[in-house]
Every structure is written in structure tokens, then in C-alpha cells.
Amino acid sequence: MRNRYLAFDSVEGRDVAWSDISLKGVTREEESQFINEVELLRSVNNEHIIHYYDSWYDEEKNRIVIITQCMPSGTILEFALLFLRSICRYIKNKVVSMEAIKKWSLQILEGLAYLHSQDPPIIHKDLKCSNLFIDAVFSTIRIGDLGLASHMDKDSPIAGTLEYMAPEIIDNNTYNEKTDMYAFGMCLLELITRKPPYSECENTMALLSKIISVNPQSSSKR
């Protein structure tokens, strides 16, 4: 179980994001995801990726603590759907403009380009609006939550969030730069429509069927 808090680093004099990850009852696979997230955060350095500051294992409480950069406005989804509505009560148009979405999109793409330019490329595998963080004061977007990310040369089971998952992942467990770009497209769809992808699907089976139906390769196999 992961809990996130806003904390203050009294040594550096800055706000930070404190992630408290309890290891009680978690599987080895889940534990390895948390360790993987720390290792990847340590290895990357880009203005559009959440900055890593510190981490440690708390043996007494059996937990991992990860300290990262604080993004005061939360995720872009929280900002676009909740924050703007609360402060724009007297503004007729209560949606994020296309110009703002374009600016955010360029920053997300720059972050993805950085991950994909590593040798071997780092594939995020779980890009979604709730993993994209914003500092609204400076209109800065940063990609976070690298728990499922891995280098492209590593085999891994199917992982991620179904609504943002490319059809080829379900079809043949293929992860590459293109699958991250597909997820990016679904993020754009959600920001523009203000609805989660495939919101019309009533259950998981309907969702799976809808995703697979848009993959020409899957259709040709039937």
C-alpha cells in the first residue's frame, strides 16, 4: 500500500513528496516494482521526469520511503477536472484550453523522448493522466510513477492500466516506444473529452473486447 504526503525538507529548505510504501502483505513481484522504481528514478535526470531526492528501507515498520520532487498542483487530471472547476465558478468556460493541452503535450513528449533515448530505451508501461504531474504556477509537466517501467531489452509480464493499454500488448505482450505513444494518445483523449478512455464499457470483458477489436492483427487471426 502506498501513501503520499506533502513534507518539508528542513535541511534543503524545500517542499517534497513523501511516498510511504508498506511492504506488509505485498508479493515479491510488487516489492520488486517498488525497488525498480527507485533504481530508475536514480538513473534518470530530465526536466520532465519527477526528480528523485532520496529513499530508504525502514526495517522497524517494514516499509520503503521514497522522497521526490513536490508537484504542488497534483496530477494534470486533478488540476483539469477538479481544481479549475473550483476556482472558475465565475468563468463561463470551465475547461482547459486546447493551447494549454498542446503545451502540456509537448512536455510529456519531451519526457517520453528522454526515456526512449536511453540505451537501452526505458519504456514507462503505465503512462496515464494520474501519473502526469503539474506545477501550475510554471505550467511544468513531469512524468512520474516509474514502478512498472523497464528497459526495453527486459522481458516482463503484461502490466499497466487496461484503459491506456495498446492492443498489441494484450495480443502478444509487446512493449516498446509505440505502446507508450499509444498511452500518450489516450491521455490526450481523456484531457480533451474529460472522460476516461472507454468509459462506455460497463465491465472488464467489454473493455477487453473493445480494445482488441481496434487491433487489425487481432481481427485477422480470427
Catalytic residues: 145
Q: How far apart are the C-alpha atoms of 148 and 213, rounded to whole Å?
A: 25
Cβ proximity of 18 and 67 under 8 Å: yes
Q: Rounded CA gap, 8 and 26, in Å?
A: 28
> What is the CB-side half-sphere exposure of residue 31 using CA atoms within 13 A?
10
The H-or-E segment that residue 142 falls in is strand 140-143
Contact 80, 96 (CB under 8 A): yes
Any bridge partners for residue 67, and if so which?
18, 54
Closest CA to 132 of 143, 122, 124, 140: 143
Rounded to 5°, the CA angle 44-11-48 comes to 25
